[in-house]
Amino acid sequence: MHTGALENRREQLLSFVVHEYSRTAQPVASEIVKDKAGLDISPATIRNEMVALEKEGYLRQPHTSAGRVPTEKGYRYYIAHCIEEKNVESDVHTFRRTIQGDQEKEAMMKRLARELAGEVREGVFVGFDPESTYYTGLSYLFEQPEFDSVDLVRDLSEMIDNLDHIVSHLFQEAIPGVRVYVGSENPFGVHCATVLLRPGQDQPMIGVIGPMRMDYDRAIAMMKGIERLLI
């Protein structure tokens, strides 16, 4: 069991809510937890623990919904303590074929970005240097239910317009490795999350952009697999 600020039962509940909300995009009610989470606790205890997680800022109850969704704090806790990296070896094998052979680096990275976007069903960008950026897969991003909001679409459109500037800033601060930016710390917008890979100081950056509800387990595993191929 992972260690952290939350006791085990609350950590398990939070992890379940993150997974279920990522899958359905619907607030998660205590009845769903009781039926699907596999926890040997009573419905009353589940309700009490979910209320406690809400009071501690890890969950919130949107509008008058009976269910709850993770907050930015909840996602950050999940990323720090609960990630269960998925087996993505078959995808990594496909990516390996993409980068093999005698081909120009920029064309290879663009092809890799397109394949990655298709696998994670999110937006993907490549920063070749502080002044050259490529992006793909934004149609997947706009398909997400979060972007039914006109305000979110406008925010995302502004982000696309400023992509070169944002990536230039990331080149200045990003250290080699995989890093996750969530919500208010995310340079691509407070409603989104980014999983960023910088294989090395002289390598292009590649990033997955999605809603905070993205499948972090899969996205992080993918990026670590790509990191192994590029370093």
pTM value is 0.90
CA 35/CA 24 separation, integer angstroms: 15
Among 178, 170, 184, 152, residue whose Cα is nearest residue 230: 178
Of 158 and 128, the structure prediction assigns the larger pLDDT to: 128
Of 86 and 223, the structure prediction assigns the larger pLDDT to: 223
CA 64/CA 82 separation, integer angstroms: 28
Tell me how crowded residue 230 is: count the other CB atoms within 10 A of its CB: 17
pLDDT tens across 175-213, in order? 899 999 999 999 888 888 999 999 888 889 999 999 999
Q: Write down the number of H helices and E strands in the chain.
A: 10, 7
- The pLDDT value recorded for residue 1 is 39
pLDDT tens across 12-40, in order? 999 999 999 999 999 998 888 888 887 88
Of 66 and 24, the structure prediction assigns the larger pLDDT to: 24
User: Hey, what domains does the chain have and what are their CATH numbers?
Assistant: 8-81 (1.10.10.10), 89-230 (3.30.450.40)
- The pLDDT value recorded for residue 4 is 52
- The pLDDT value recorded for residue 156 is 78
DSSP character at residue 32: H
Q: Is the pLDDT of residue 103 over 80?
A: no
- In percent, how much of the chain has pLDDT > 70? 97
Indicate the range of 3-12, 41-50, 177-186 predicted with least confidence: 3-12
- In percent, how much of the chain has pLDDT > 90? 53
CA 144/CA 214 separation, integer angstroms: 10
Q: Is the pLDDT of residue 98 over 90?
A: no
pLDDT tens across 113-134, in order? 999 999 999 999 999 988 899 9
Mean pLDDT taken over the chain: 89
Q: Is the pLDDT of residue 58 over 90?
A: yes
- The pLDDT value recorded for residue 5 is 64
- The pLDDT value recorded for residue 3 is 43
pLDDT tens across 130-144, in order? 889 999 998 898 888
DSSP strand pairing (205-211 vs 192-198): antiparallel
What's the pLDDT band for 83 if we cut at 50, 70, 90? very high
Identity (one letter) of the amino acid at 203? Q
